[in-house]
Structure 1
């Protein structure tokens, strides 16, 4: 935004400079031009008609003086206007229009510095366009990378949630099997003592195994306690 305004400001400044250059060229050593072109100059000897005829703006004459790219500023009245907002916005628009088009619409004269200014506008417009493309490319790359990362993260989260659900199901299944084994252990133990089927062939869970060991310990200690009670009673 600032670049557009600066280019427009230089264009406005050079427009006034070219107009005064035309006046100086016309006057030379002629009489009737006075000592100054200032608006505050009240010298009646200044022949404004001579200046306007020799430096035509509304009906440009290239044989007399060609303003080139600065003719628009003189024809639009921006150079003569005292309305500051009007000057600012018009110069901004001129800079934006010509930088965005790389100076393709500029019709220059053979004035050296005007040609240099037009070349500078074209190169600067191209550089700004390349800078914009580079920023756009970087933004698209970051957006794509972020999208891929989010998609990968979503897949990993989905996989983790699925793994957690399966782990919960497995733990729940093990818990139910363990509870079933504990609840059925006394029945199976009684059947084993009756030799209906051998106990070692059963798949006993951890809780059932502990219950079985406690039962066997109690069974082995019981005769000892009976003998001890008999000895005490004697």
Structure 2
């Protein structure tokens, strides 16, 4: 076997191992049951995740914000941080008004493999909307704010900040049904209520009846993450 062939096999093995580590991260999120936050890896790239957060309290209550998470190429073994970018226009001290990028450095100075996890990042995303004052206070000791104007409003003119945060929430709800910016089948989309399609399901949910299982719903193949564990390749 040639040297190039060995390198090719090593690269393939590394990719497979990384895929299982990413899968393990996703399994952790399922077990945490983080209310109002939904994420899924892209169909074509497991390092790109699509997400939606439904804000249930605070200045941004009722907002529906879309975001993406881009994991570093060597995740989770790289100390580089994931990149979180919001698709909505949001006024927030930690979110850049031009790029939509979220500063997570005050919560994650660097990524610690085995200690830091994506579910913790999602909890942080929740926290910045539920309690922006506390999150801004934590970030104050670090670098400059991503949005200095928002930080000033939050501390100096709370009423104006609340009004603009409410506008962001209203605007986000108006864009719920926008056309997807990608053809990726895993991109999270919403449909307007159709009584013919969704009515029977709504009725079953309201009455507590179990939904009938789809004949195609049965899982195919094997899961290589053992039930109750989060280590990839844990099945012997």
TM range (shorter): under 0.3
Give the structure-1-normalised TM-score. Answer: 0.21
Give the structure-2-normalised TM-score. Answer: 0.21
Q: In proportion to residue count, which structure has more strand? A: 2
Q: In proportion to residue count, which structure has more helix? A: 1
Q: Greater Rg, structure 1 or structure 2? A: 1
Q: Which has the higher contact order (CA 8 A, sep 6+)?
A: 2
